[in-house]
Structure 1
Amino acid sequence: MCLHLTDEDNTIRYLALDQLTDNPFHLWKDRSKESSTLTLASGTLSDEQFYTFFLFMIYTSQLINICAVIANSLCIAVFVKLGFSEPSNISLTALAVCDFTMAVLFTWATCAPC
């Protein structure tokens, strides 16, 4: 996972997500030069603030993914009970199965860094 940023002087910096080390606040490694802050348009974001935001995004996406898994499980159960005699039931069941699969994969993928 890479993040591409541009500084005020339009130099492109490539940041790559490293494996978690003993210091949980050292998540991003600047490939062009060493930096302890992430420069954004509105200012700077320290490592601790970025880590807090990163965890907030992970926990929020986990909650949304769990709700998606539950909702799609119910949809699949309802459409199986209705039967597959109508083409719309087949299409909606396929959509629910696809969404369920993606929610499970995203739940697993966002849980991996923690």
Structure 2
Amino acid sequence: MREEIFGPVLSILGYADEEDAVRIANDTVYGLAGYIQTRDNAAARRIARQLRVGMVYINEADWDAASPFGGFKQSGNGREHGEFGLADFLEIKATGGYRVA
């Protein structure tokens, strides 16, 4: 469960409870994406917030090109695509100290 596998592969591992499932999922040096399959929307959102991954898919793997793409840990740093992907190309400037009458 600590190998980063690309391709049509499904790994199945049992867990004691939700906390154990999140612990197992986060116990890796990788963190590109996570997938949650459930009928409980509240549980899906709760689990998604706890996963240390760049993207979480709930009940499907339909990626939106406008969404930020990138991972955590050794699966990448930063984001590509969407509004977040533009940040690497911007220089932010703060302007202040004046009043307009």
What's the TM-score bracket when you normalise by the shorter of the two chains? under 0.3
TM-score of the aligned structures, taking structure 1 as reference length: 0.22
Structure that is richer in strand per residue: 1
Structure that is richer in helix per residue: 1
Higher RCO by CA contacts (8 Å cutoff, separation 6 or greater): 2
Task: Report which of the two structures shows the higher radius of gyration computed on alpha carbons.
Answer: 1
